[in-house]
Amino acid sequence: MANTILVGAQWGDEGKGKIIDFLTDEADIVVRSQGGNNAGHTIVLGGEKYVLHLIPSGILRRGKVCVIGNGVVLDPVALVGEIEGLRARGIKIAKNLLISGSAHLVMPYHRALDEQREVLKGKNKIGTTKRGIGPAYGDKAARTGIRLADLMNEPVFLAKLKARVKENNAVLKSLGAKPISAAKVESAYLAAAEVLRPFVANTVVALHDAIAKGKKILFEGAQGTFLDIDHGTYPFVTSSNTTAGGACTGSGVPPHRMDNVMGVIKAYTTRVGEGPFPTEDDGLGDRLHEMGREFGATTGRARRCGWFDAVAVRYANMVNGIDQLAITNLDGLDQVERIRVCTAYRLDGKKISVLPTQSDEVERCQPIYTDLPGWMSPTERATKYSDLPANARSYVETLAGLIGTRLAIVSVGPGRDQTIRR
Ligand code: GDP
Ligand code: IMO
Ligand code: MG
């Protein structure tokens, strides 16, 4: 395996963390290049569950380096909490973590704005994670952001903080929300700065040095293709480029150094938050929730569930250039007799086979399904591709065929050993 970009090819929570943990065995470095602690990447190791929000999912493997790149927005207090939580569980975090000084900070006024804007949107809310992600990227684009490097320089940070709190408090008040106390932010952020200082590095140079030495890098996408700010179901999206290109801009590693793109999909579809979801099916959702599955790793919200949408994932293949596919949660369909796969849509009376670009059109799309027979037997103990029931193999091969890409990995449980290479 050479340098690989791993992306979610649906609406997030495809099982990226689990697949990254599996692939890290053959990599040297794992990089997060976009998103923030809106992400929740779950790894189950030796029966223990770890949920990572900002730290790359390679951290559980000794001897591997994890990098938080310039494209990430980070809440320093949340990051310190995550580092301390992992250390308390015996995970070493020292020279194996590098953080870009150019990463923008998520500030308390970003969280307050995120929350209040959602309240004001009422029934048109996005259903954000309320982690302040949109307002933080908004400040970055408006060139009013504060970066981690600023936090490392106390007088610079305090001057920027003062100016930004003043402006944001005026906005918060105008929106009917409570202002932020600059003094509280100052003490909490300066305390976090001291914990984070040893990790701050020029991650662009570190990654290029590693490439020159022949090291292998895994780029861990957060969120998923249809939450992408450009290619997703806008405005029901997150505020970063979650698609393959985001790995380049968010890390400083150019496209010609990327060797392949792995797309991760669930064997069905889930979505958290509002926005169009053509194949949503409450019956399938009830079934998965009764099994204790599909509750959000970050917010605990029940995920909306539906059938596999090949029209959408074909689009994801187009914008990401997926070379290899990893299919997760196949075991979630073990007891489903008739499995539906959406192969086209009906939009305003016309049959279409391409995902529309506008959310209101996606909202009006009626799925056209092909039904496939289930396998009605457990798959969680399968360790080789040939262990899978014939109908399960036929199902995953049908999905790969519909998407037009190569199937590389099938996952049949949350554990590292429940991963099958094709
Ligand atoms: P991510 O955000 O893409 O990393 O995905 P999440 O961690 O938010 O959600 C995926 C969920 O599915 C987590 O609870 C994983 O432990 C779980 N998971 C991943 N792959 C499998 C699988 O093949 N089978 C089962 N049963 N669970 C899986
Ligand atoms: P991982 O990396 C699933 C969703 C939110 C909301 C929208 C905008 O675990 O796959 P935001 O807080 O980013 O402004 O919310 O995006 N969302 C996710 N959904 N998985 C995620 O991350 C998500 N991160 C954000 O639910 O609909
Ligand atoms: Mg998740």
- Contact indicator for 106, 74 with CB cutoff of 8 Å: yes
Q: What is the average pLDDT value for the chain, to the nearest integer?
A: 97
What confidence tens digit (pLDDT) does each residue in 230-252 have?
999 999 999 999 999 999 999 99
User: For residue 134, what are the β-bridge partners?
Assistant: none
Is the CB–ligand 1 distance for residue 57 below 6 Å?
Answer: no
Distances (CA, A) of 62 to 42, 66, 131, 284, 318: 18, 11, 30, 39, 35
**What confidence score (pLDDT) does residue 299 get?**
87
Mutating to test ligand 2, I would choose from 41, 220, 223 the residue with most ligand atoms within 8 A of its C-beta, which is 223
pLDDT beyond 90 at 81: yes
Closest ligand relative to 303 C-alpha: 2
Nearest CA to 372 out of 329, 397, 340, 330 is that of 340
**Torsion angle of C-alpha atoms 82, 83, 85, 88, degrees rounded to 10:** 170
Residue 222 CB coordination number (10 Å): 30
pLDDT beyond 60 at 18: yes
How remote is the CA of residue 267 from the centroid of ligand 1, in Å? 11
Residue found by looking up tokens 């150094």 in the block: 257
What confidence tens digit (pLDDT) does each residue in 41-57 have?
999 999 999 999 999 99
Question: CA-to-CA distance for 328 and 377, rounded, in angstroms?
Answer: 17
How remote is the CA of residue 298 from the centroid of ligand 3, in Å? 7
b vs e for 74-107, b when ≥16 Cβ sit within 10 Å of the residue's Cβ?
A: bbbbbbbbbbeebeeeebeeeebbbbbbbbbbbb
Tell me the catalytic residues: 13, 41
What is the DSSP code string of 12-76? S-SSHHHHHHHHGGG-SEEEE-S--TT--EEEEETTEEEEESSS-TTTTSTT-EEEE-TT-EE-H
At position 77, the amino acid (one-letter code) is V
- Contact indicator for 264, 282 with CB cutoff of 8 Å: no
Residue found by looking up tokens 């992992």 in the block: 86
Question: CA-to-CA distance for 403 and 397, rounded, in angstroms?
Answer: 10
What confidence tens digit (pLDDT) does each residue in 100-137 have?
999 999 999 999 999 999 999 999 999 999 999 999 99
What confidence tens digit (pLDDT) does each residue in 269-288 have?
999 999 999 999 999 999 99
pLDDT beyond 60 at 155: yes
Mutating to test ligand 2, I would choose from 72, 110, 227 the residue with most ligand atoms within 8 A of its C-beta, which is 227
Nearest CA to 105 out of 137, 127, 129 is that of 137
**What confidence score (pLDDT) does residue 1 get?**
57
- Contact indicator for 143, 104 with CB cutoff of 8 Å: no
**What confidence score (pLDDT) does residue 161 get?**
98
What tokens does 41 get? Answer: 């990447």
pLDDT beyond 70 at 315: yes
- Reported as a pLDDT band with limits 50, 70 and 90, residue 305 is very high
b vs e for 258-283, b when ≥16 Cβ sit within 10 Å of the residue's Cβ?
A: bebbbbbbbbbbbbbbbbbbbbbbee
The proportion of the chain whose per-residue pLDDT surpasses 70, expressed as a percent, equals 100
117-126 contact pairs (CB < 8 A, 24+): 117/175, 120/175, 120/176, 125/274, 126/235, 126/236, 126/237, 126/273, 126/274, 126/275
Query: What ligand 1 atom has the least distance to the C-alpha of 49?
Result: 16
- Contact indicator for 15, 329 with CB cutoff of 8 Å: yes
This prediction's pTM:
0.97
Is the CB–ligand 1 distance for residue 356 below 6 Å?
Answer: no
- Contact indicator for 359, 338 with CB cutoff of 8 Å: no
What is the average per-residue pLDDT within 315-343?
98
Q: Reply yes or no: is the peptide bond before residue 135 cis, omega within 30 of 0.
A: no
- Contact indicator for 117, 239 with CB cutoff of 8 Å: no
How remote is the CA of residue 320 from the centroid of ligand 1, in Å? 21
Estimate the crossing angle of helix 133-142 against helix 108-121, to 10 degrees: 110
What tokens does 24 get? Answer: 């890290």
Strand locations in 294-381, DSSP E?
304-306, 308-309, 324-328, 338-347, 350-352, 366-373
Nearest CA to 119 out of 110, 109, 127 is that of 127
pLDDT beyond 80 at 291: yes
What is the average per-residue pLDDT within 372-396?
98
**What confidence score (pLDDT) does residue 126 get?**
98
All structural domains of the chain, each given as residue ranges with its CATH number in brackets, are 4-102+199-261 (3.40.440.10), 104-196 (1.10.300.10), 265-421 (3.90.170.10)
